[in-house]
Structure 1
Amino acid sequence: MTILPGEPASAKLTVIGQAKVNVKVHYKDDQGNNHYVDLPDQAKTYHEGQDIMKPEDFMTKNSDLTDADRILLPAGIVINWAAGPTIQNSDAQYAAGYQNGTAAFDQTVAPDFDGDTLIYEGAFAKPVTDTHKVTRTIKFVDQNGKQIYPDFTQRSRDFTRSGFEDPFTHKIAWAEIPGSDILHQYQVPKIDGYTPDKSQVAQATVKFGDPDSAITVTYKANSQVIKVNFIDDTTGETLNSKSLDGVSDADANYNTKADINNYEKQHYVLVRDSSDGQDLIFDHDDQATQSYDVHFTHDTNPDSRQDTVTRTITYTGAGNKTPSAVTQSVHFTQAGTKDLVTGKTKWNDVADQNFASVGTPEVAGYTPDKSQVAQATVKYGDKDTTVTVTYAADKQQAKLRFYDDTAKKFIDAAPVLDASGKTDGQVGFTIPNSYDFSKYNFVNVTKGADPESTDQLAGADLSAVQYGKYDTDDKKDQVFVAHFTHKIKAINEKVTVNETIHYVYEDGSKAHDDYQATPLVFTKTGTKDLVTEEEKATWTKSQKFAEVASPEIPGYTPDQAVVPAVEVAHGDNDVVRTVTYSKNIEPQEPTTPTDNPVTPKAPEEPQQPATPDDNPDVVRPHSDNSPQKKQDSKQTNKTTEVNKTVKRSSTVKPKATAITKRNGTKVQLATKDASKQSNPKAVVNSTSTTVVNNKGENKAETLPQTGEKDNKLGILGLLTLSLASLFGFSEKKKKED
């Protein structure tokens, strides 16, 4: 039976072989000779066709070396673990042309893996030494970090260490570092003009490997002053002294060049400058002021013949109203010298010439800083000059007046408001809270003092008016007029006039309930001007309280049978009138006839007062309440006075009265209007007086309704009357008894 290597199918027997992979370390000696050290305990044996050869099956780091390995390897050798091993094929020969392959990681182990070797590269470590000093540098700087004093350096003693360098990683394994050293305390130096933030640097202990260090001492610069004086050597005067404040050694950000240039423009000539025009640096002398002097003399120009000097006057500040420049020139024919600082020229036997004064043009609304450019004496050799006239906007005034368009006059309660500004500035007014326009309607604001102006400004109300800009006339104030009209209020008012009639007896006590007329209402309509409080309104026409028939009270007679009608108007007070009732007078009983009786006259039948029922205008008071009875008072030999007064505050039409007789007594009655007077509202205050004789004396009056003395019927009547009188007197006596 022939069994071919690697061909299990060629045999009927299953054979599982073993393959051994060897491990060696290769290195070169000092002469460059190659050496291979076999490490038998690192070799691996695999089952062919089953196991997989992996890198981790072999050495990967120093700790994987066994003590036996370390004995076999030369001292000081280092293995390149990072590169890993290479695989060297064995030189075995196989039958039947079987190719001897090389073992490989992560492959199934084959028979030809047997005898292959992993070769690790080794080399000897390099011995090295290192020497080190620890340095501490002390720096001295100002607050800006700028060095102001030389650095001071402190160094430790030399520290030396030894070790071996890995030939592959070049890492060095150092031996123990010996000892330490001390950097001593350092006293910080004093620097004029500065104050350090620390007075000393403390002692420090250092050892090998400590980094170099730096300690910074910061000095705060002290305050310093530089004074620069500009001196006119020609006049001996100091033109200016400039004081600069700063700190020690700081840049003053100043040199004299600009100021010198400025003085030179004014025709000063530099004599010397102690600063040499250099940028000035503050010193660090706290005790003395740093000072520089700059000396000038006046510049002069020699004059020569046929020279021309020009002066240009320019104007600025008035906007597009600014006048154009004015140029003046003068010509000289003699020599002279001109001091360019003072502008004065000394001519040699030649009269000075002048630039004529130039009046500054007027620009409405602006005031120049000079009213004219003055005449100037010019000497030959003077430089051309330029004079600038600057205009400033004038102060302007504006007034706001308040006009009553309704009354066609200015409003006294709102005095003129003043505002001030400058030409072309915005005009504005602040309305005081005390100005009350609540009774006015705002109309508009017009320009100009004339309230009839139609030049209106925009603005729906007074606070929104745009007044525009101030004008250019500083001699005359701008005037604005705010227009108002009166607010008008509608009127609708009502007033009422009442009428009351009192019914009383002669002693003033109540005779009957009062009469209350239906009130008369008057209405006023129209409008009221809220400013003047003037009303344009009308009242309804006057009205009448109708005449009122006085109520009947048995046994009494009113002084007015009918209270007359009265006409009243809206301004009248309530009407109060009084009707007075008088007790009716009974006729006297006749005396007993004598033997020769005198035939008396037949008494006259008393007549009743006129009844006003026939008058449709008469108003009768309510008679629901019975009249109050009046107790009689004895009237023997007493005159009774009846006083009738119509009491009211308004005017009434007077009524005519009629006189009639009742029981021999005169009685006054009211009737309808007896006359048409021209003044229908004339006040009536009438009083009627009736005198009654209780004894029945007829004062030889002829009674009405009697005949002649010789009338026979009269005799019969007389007898009848006598009997009646006797009978009546008898009845009266009975009553009295």
Structure 2
Amino acid sequence: MTAMISAAVLGSAGIVHADVTSQSSATTPTDTSEVVAKTTDLGKAALTTSQTTESSADQNSNRQESTAPVSSNDQEKKASVENNQNNTEKTTNPEKEQSSDTVLKSSVSSVANNENKEVKSVTPATSSFATDENIVSQRTVPQANSTITVSNPTDYPTQAAKLVGKNSQGQPYYIYQIVNLRNPTLDSQQARLILAVDPANPQGNNFVYVTTDQYKKIYGNVYVIAPGRYADIAVGTSGSTSPNGENSRIFRVSNTQPFTFNFNGKTISVPASVSIKSVRTVNPVYGLGNQAKINYTDKVDITPELNNPAIEYIYRDKDGNYTTNSALPTNVPVNGITGQRFLITNVDNYKQVVKGYYLTNQKDSLSNTANGKDYQGTISQFQIGKYYQKTLYNWDRSVSQTLIYELLDPQGTMNISLVRPNAKTETKRVAVGQVDRFSNGTLARNPFVPGANAVQLVYADLGHIIPVDENGQVISQDQPIYNNDETDAHKAAATASPDLTAEGWVLNDPKQATITPANPGEDTKVEYRRVIINTETKTVTQTVKYEYADGITEGRPSLPAPRVQVATFTHTTITNPVTGDIISDTWTPAQKFTTVYSPKVDGFYADFAYVGGNDNVTQNTPDTTFVVKYAGPNENVEHQTVTQTVHYQYKDGITEGRPALPQDNVQQKSFTHTVKTDPEGNIIEDTWTPDQADNQFTAVKSPNIHDEATDTNYYYDQAVVGGNTNVTQSTPDTEFIVYYLPGNITTQSKSITQTVHYAYRDGVTQGRPALPTDNVQRVTFTQKIETNPFTGDVTGYSWDPIYSKFDSVQTPELKGFYADQEVAGGDTHVIPEDSDTTYTVYYAAPVSKITDEKHVTQTITYEYADGITANRPTLPRTDVQTKVFYRTVTTNPWTDKVISDTWSPAQNFTVVQTPTINGYYYDQAQAGSNSAVTHENPDTEYIVQYAPGKVTTEDKTVTQTIKYEYADGVTEGRPTLPADNTITVDFTHTIVRDPWTDKVISDTWSPAQTINPVESPTIDGFTPDHAEIPGKTITYDSENLEYVVKYTKDEEPNKPTPEEPTPEEPTTPEPEKPNGPVEETPTPSQPQPTVPAPEAPVQQPTKPVEESSEIPVINQVVSAKPAAPNKEANNKLPQTGNQDSTAIIGLGLVTAFASLFGFGKRKSEK
């Protein structure tokens, strides 16, 4: 058949993808596995369409940015695809991309719309792309004397590999996914897609090939899909090529480029992934990781990566969590691609000793080959500490959902998170090989393949030595980490316990001075004991004494007290409490005695200027004493005085009529001149000494002069005169004069006004009362100004009056309006410095508003008393009446003071008549209240209960007994008589009562019954006196019946037949006493039943009779005389109380007949 392969260039879309599988319907996937979603952060990366054709290596120059379909028949018309690159949304602005809507525009040119256009296409070679090369690369790792050899997987599709191309270095493209295409066939063979990447850049372009399960050739173009772009590949001849149409033959391949986004509060980077979206579904034939080989409508795979590690160094913390750790060695990469196999020689060489950590892997557990040295592994898709994504798109290129994968431990446990637009992120912890399900039905499948991974070297923290006392309590923070065993990464080496002697502790067990832990990750507690400390002290002294040389002390200055210096030394011995050995025997260090300078003694001189001093005083230095002696000099003394005088005068010389001037201010300082000589006459000292402590003249502040009689101030020309901070015996005497004059006086006046103005707050006056006229008050002040006659400066002023006060103005009332002030103005004193003031009193209308709304409800609820509603009539709807009350508060517009506070008036509820329910009785004929209610009334609730009637029953049995006897009483030698024939008839007495009042509603007996005739059994040679006992109608009030049939021996032939005996009356047994009164008068035959109406509610009986289970009483007839109940019946419908009058008549006829024929009651014969 003719195969059609085409591609459509579509617009860009945000990044995300997932796997959605389908096993039955192309439109409704039955299994959604590995579905991924888009968030705003994911929008940073976007897909745009990009397909380029590729042929063999010598045709690379013919690549195109768009592709055209190529048919296997050159005679067929070729379809083309219009490349709308200018309509493609770019991804150069991450911020713009991040805020874009999830539905992204696309420019679609379908094959159907471009059938008449021809675009040059390149038909790639069908078999010359690559050779079947299995060994890909080999690298020698310099650090470990080991090599890592990389090869393709054992199940690598070598036949398909012959169809793929090579990169510019001649390396074959690496196949990581092959899928069957559902329904399309090519040359009657199963159509397939091959997905491959460049081994030098696997996170870059994806190369997609259309072929069949025979891998004979490539159909159409090779699609080169750049990162962030996608291609629509139409395969087959049937079906629409619209990317979102039903029965579409398009398979959309999207290359989601690596991107970074915020996830769970941190920024993560995820590698690329590729999705295949189709309506017809695909089924994986070959792929990486744990894949379910089922039908997918969206198949998504994590794109292979280059240089993933062959050796992973993993850290496990004390809580068992696995992560990376910068202290561990860097992972060892392998020069290969995800999914390829690798062989590491001498794998144990990678076990490194890391300070503070130990290797948790079991010893000799790494090598997995026969030689016991090497490791055969697979370059894994997943690493601890990294994240991976799968993204699923809708047909309109909007993101459907995103799965984020995080490997948690070396065993393969994963966190799988579902991220959807406008939905909360969900996370599932999924064990290896397991599948969980998210809330939207998406399956969380763990893709990790056990064993298909790198060498995982897991390190954990080494333990510590923990010092403790004899009670196990930790005594020190000196807790050393175990030393590493430099020859074995699995072990800890011998580690010295800390020396805590300085902290006062020694080892309890000297053998624990060094610890070699058996478990390198477990702490070891080492016990310590307190040391024994003994101390003693010793003192050494240096003493300096002072004496007069002649021994005389009386009348002389006191001599200095002895100067004693003391050095104290402590002797400390520390003993080990375990061994008794002296750990330490020390004296405190050497000290110093300082040199002592001889103090001065007035008038006397020491024989030594200083004595003593020792820089090395130890506990062995002897005590020492020094004596300093004093002798006195000769002296000559004279005195001198220095004077400062201040005089006060009126400048104009006038003193009459003026205040007296201040007295002269005189200050004197005296000095003493002393000359001291030694006994030999040599001048020892020649000094001037002030006789007072204060050796300076103070500056004199000029006194104020005020004439109280004339209230006149006098001013000085100098505020301060004199003063000398350094008066000595050489300072000359000094004199100063201060002059006074009266101040100069001038006057001025000032007026101040207070105005009270009245206005409406809103400014509106029309139609309102006239406002009061302004109130204006005035105060006048007179000021006297005084100036200094020497400087002209104003020195003071006074006002008359000093202050005044405006009157407060009572605000006039204005009908219907409220003022913002009751009183205006006059609130403070007025002083001359104040300015004119104006007060404005505003009027405004009162404010009314509804502040509260109260709903008062009356609720009448209907319910069954026992709470059961199933299979019962529907209860009446709850009756709810609501009365709404409003609270209106009128307030002063200025003070918010409440003027009035009222609620809307009282209202009335309606009393509700209780609806009837057939077969059930209510406890209240009406409910509710019509009393007036206000907002203060609480909500009220009434409950009306329904219950079925209470049914009680008693049973009565009427018996008919037929006995058989021989007439002559002889039984010996004769046939055995028949057994008594006993027939019983049961009747039920049913009484129905109102469940609330206990009033009898219905009192009935079950109807009359008929006993059929009974033939008398035959006895050979004997004849019964009655051939049959006739039938009879029995009612509940019938008495028990008893008949006796007598057998007479048949007469011999020719013997006269005796007369037939007259039958006796039938025996009437003594009737049993009935349990209650029995109605004897029959009721009319089959009366029409009526339904009693419920009565008004009454109080419940204090001792209710036992109730039957819920039996609705329908069509009841009330008996005139109910029988007393003797038991209750459950779950029985009551019988009507009719009596069959014909039965009574029949009973009378039977009795008469019995009398006529002579059978009836007989006395028992024995």
Q: Normalising TM by the smaller chain, what interval?
A: under 0.3
Give the structure-1-normalised TM-score. Answer: 0.21
Which of 1 and 2 has greater Rg? Answer: 1
Give the structure-2-normalised TM-score. Answer: 0.14
The structure with the largest helix share of the pair is 1
